[in-house]
Amino acid sequence: MSVRRLVALDLDGTLAPLRRDPAAVRLTAARRALLARLGRSPDIRVLVVSGRPQGFLRRALAGTGAALAGEHGWVLEGIGPRWRHPRLSLRARQARALAAAARRAVRGFKGVRVETKTSAVAVHWRSAPRVIRDPSGLRRVLTALLPAGWRLAGGKRIWEFRPADAWGKGEVIALAARRLRARVVFIGDDVTDEEAFRTLGRGARTVKVGPGPTRARERVGGLSGVDALLDRLAR
């Protein structure tokens, strides 16, 4: 039987709870088993699409059988030939320089951590009480660093320098769906997932996790709601 549905999911806040330390994020054994069971369905392919580096996703999702799209979709593996965005090497060089500048700029903000990715730079402030109270100062500092061809995107107590290229989670999900000739189910909780909901449009089944305004067509209440939805899809 050919694959009829591509079930794409975000990681943080969708498959695993958010943590003060992003490196501490883990999937529970039960959720890993659920993903593996879903992936064994003959007409379903599972894709985890995240802003995380591809190496982190390989470790976090090992044994689940899920295809992976890290760096907000700039890399795709597990569905057809491994794919990298053609501008990835250029953006990677720029990201390293931008990360070094960001580390120097945030030294006065206690608890702020800079994470270098291949094609992006994440500035985490979940452990920075001063910034949580008033994030405007940190935002001004980061905005002043923005080079041409880059943008500053917000998330849940994170700002991220990302290439301004018109490519992201929605585009890589659409690429994977074309390769499979499959319909899309996409489940996510964050700002970048809202961008993907818009890109995928009404041709996809889009599901928002948690409260807040959304472009998604459906909503579940939290990670337990995600589990229940995946369980129904796996039957």
Per-residue burial over 225-235, b = 16 or more CB atoms within 10 Å of its CB, e = otherwise: ebbebbeebbe
pLDDT tens-digit profile of 150-191?
A: 999 988 899 999 999 989 999 999 999 999 999 999 999 988
Q: What is the CATH number of the domain that holds 185?
A: 3.40.50.1000
Among residues 23, 28, 10, the alpha carbon closest in space to that of 209 is found at 10
**Do residues 157 and 171 share a domain?**
no
Treating both helix axes as pointing N-terminal to C-terminal, what angle do 136-143 and 88-105 enclose, rounded to 10 degrees? Answer: 130
Q: How far apart are CA 47 and CA 169, in angstroms?
A: 11
Q: What is the CATH number of the domain that holds 122?
A: 3.30.70.1020
Per-residue burial over 192-202, b = 16 or more CB atoms within 10 Å of its CB, e = otherwise: bbbbbbebbee
The catalytic position among 10, 165, 189, 193 is: 10
Q: Would you place residue 214 in the very low, low, confident or very high pLDDT band (cuts 50, 70, 90)?
A: very high
- Which one has a higher pLDDT value, 1 or 54? 54
**Do residues 179 and 126 share a domain?**
no
**Do residues 117 and 209 share a domain?**
no
**Is residue 21 among the annotated active site residues?**
no
pLDDT tens-digit profile of 19-28?
A: 888 888 899 9
Q: Which domain holds residue 202?
A: 5-84+167-234
**Do residues 195 and 127 share a domain?**
no
Would the pLDDT of 222 be above 90?
yes
Global pTM exceeds 0.85:
yes
pLDDT tens-digit profile of 131-149?
A: 999 999 999 999 999 999 9
